[in-house]
Amino acid sequence: MNTILQSLMQEVTAIVSGNVAPHVGIPVTAAAVRQHLSQYTFKEPVPLEVVLEDVVQMMRTWNLQMTHPRYLGLFNPATTLASVVAETLVALYNPQLAAWSHAPAANEIERHTLHYVGTTLGFPAAQLAASFTSGGSEANLTAMLAAMASHFPHYLEKGLMQLGTQPVFYVSEYAHNSFDKICKNIGIGANAMRVIPADDQLKMDVSALQAQIAKDLANQCTPFMVVGTAGTTAAGIIDPLPELAELCKKQHIWFHVDAAWAGAIVFSEKLKPLLKGIELADSVTMDAHKWFSVSFGAGMFFCRHKAVISHMFSVRADYMPKSEQDISDPYTSTLQWTRRFMGLKLFMTLAESGESAFSRLLENQTSLGDYFRRQLLERGWKISNSTPLPVVCFTHRAIESREVSITGMLHQIYQEANLWISAVSTSQTQKVFRACITNYHTTEKDIDFVVRELEKLLQHQLAVKAN
């Protein structure tokens, strides 16, 4: 056992200190991985230290290294040591949080942490209902269920067939695609989702939203929710939250803010004003496993209507143990039943870092985004999005003129595996590169490396084109 623990600790030390594999990823085929795994027939035992060594090698070699400082892809940052320790403790003690009486310490740690984050968002403590979720999609689903329950008082008992109207909700064209799934899964159908065009800054167009609401009301539809995004996935754009909040208040529509990624900036006094208006939302989604740098999965749902949430999820189950009279058991106030202790990793990460250190980390990564933009602009690249957040969308005149292919450059980047960026559409005409900086190990040297590699690949493609 000592050998196993020593090997595991060596790997933990290497990863959390930034000493990851030299390559961000190595291309591999499904056939190669399956062939390797075929040795595990599960008929005969294999010593755990042998399995551990093999799995570590596979994880380092055949996975995209999202903890690498030059992984500038999705919102998958390097995890903190506190997060890794917390996950180990959760696996070791394996508490079940469905009933408070089974895990008083774990439930109170989550409640304490959610209360801290929720009040920092600006929600009144007395009205706050909050829970950890598997991720942003579950949090967004909870928001839509809450909006339906709030707007249609008899919906939970009588169901959709008794509504007598078509419920409709509104998202930006750059909103997260979880809503495409949710409207189908809760039974209101894809036609209930109204996709509102963005303006020239890629923000939801409030005038277009007003016009669509008026049209729906004239057609006897019932608007019940507007979704504002605080940090779009593609371009890091923050929708006009104060204007959306005001419109929703006038129209008596539930206002939800999907701040899965950028919500973390409420902990920075410098950056928090960017999310002005989020405190007016009826509900908010945040993901601790994004910019809080904890491991998957740890979404969070916050709502200012405790009674709505209680009515949605209350259930009687005589076989469940009774808790104290003034305690709300999580199984009666959340979508999940069996509940993993998801909140410990955020609790330990925040406790270990402290608010000021955490805010400096966010501000440093935001500054790195600005540094990246300057380096690109100095070399003739073009920035395609306007955001103070560290999501950089960029292109080049040679790409716009189709002398150079983004697809071709990305293929070469992924083959060489020295860095990782992606491509997104920020208009109807052409794709652009996208890079996002959320890793606390990333430095200006990493950004310089990325810029040099981009320049090298660009010049190589231009030379090939010329010949």
Question: What average pLDDT does the segment 282-311 reach?
Answer: 93
pTM of the model: 0.92
Q: Tell me if 250 sits within 8 A of 222, measured CB to CB.
A: no
- Residue 444: strand, helix, or coil: helix
In degrees and rounded to multiples of 5, residue 230 shows phi and psi of: -110, 85
Predicted pLDDT at 409: 92
Report residue 318's pLDDT band, with 50, 70 and 90 as the boundaries.
confident
Question: What average pLDDT does the segment 249-274 reach?
Answer: 96
Question: What average pLDDT does the segment 112-132 reach?
Answer: 95
Predicted pLDDT at 18: 67
Question: What average pLDDT does the segment 351-372 reach?
Answer: 94
Report residue 105's pLDDT band, with 50, 70 and 90 as the boundaries.
very high
Listed range (192-196, 255-259, 323-327, 385-389) with the worst mean pLDDT? 323-327
**Range with the largest mean pLDDT of 63-72, 86-95, 288-297, 365-374:** 365-374
Distance CA 199, CA 99 (A): 47
364: pLDDT strictly greater than 90: yes
Distance CA 325, CA 311 (A): 17
| Residues contacting 360, CB < 8 A, separation 6+ | none
Distance CA 166, CA 199 (A): 27
| Residues contacting 303, CB < 8 A, separation 6+ | 128, 129, 130, 142, 143, 146, 282, 283, 284, 309
Distance CA 214, CA 250 (A): 13
423: pLDDT strictly greater than 90: yes
Question: In the block, which residue shows the tokens 């079940």?
Answer: 96
Distance CA 270, CA 267 (A): 9
| Residues contacting 398, CB < 8 A, separation 6+ | 404, 458, 461, 462
326: pLDDT strictly greater than 80: no
Q: Which residue has the higher pLDDT, 168 or 312?
A: 168
Question: What average pLDDT does the segment 51-66 reach?
Answer: 87
Tokens of 401: 């003129």
Report residue 21's pLDDT band, with 50, 70 and 90 as the boundaries.
low
Tokens of 229: 């995004």
Report residue 66's pLDDT band, with 50, 70 and 90 as the boundaries.
confident
231: pLDDT strictly greater than 90: yes
Predicted pLDDT at 19: 65
Report residue 221's pLDDT band, with 50, 70 and 90 as the boundaries.
very high
Tokens of 427: 């208009």
Distance CA 299, CA 133 (A): 5
Strands 381-383 and 299-303, how do they pair?
unpaired
42 dihedral zone (left: phi>0; alpha: psi -120 to 50; beta):
left
17: pLDDT strictly greater than 80: no
Distance CA 233, CA 349 (A): 24
Distance CA 450, CA 444 (A): 10
Report residue 111's pLDDT band, with 50, 70 and 90 as the boundaries.
very high
Alpha carbon of residue 131 to chain centroid: 16
CB-CB neighbours of 12 under 10 Å: 15
Listed range (222-236, 305-319, 366-380) with the worst mean pLDDT? 305-319
Question: In the block, which residue shows the tokens 């004003």?
Answer: 273
Strand order in the sheet with 381-383: 381-383, 391-396, 431-436, 422-425
DSSP E strands: which ranges in 322-453? 381-383, 391-396, 422-425, 431-436
384: pLDDT strictly greater than 70: yes
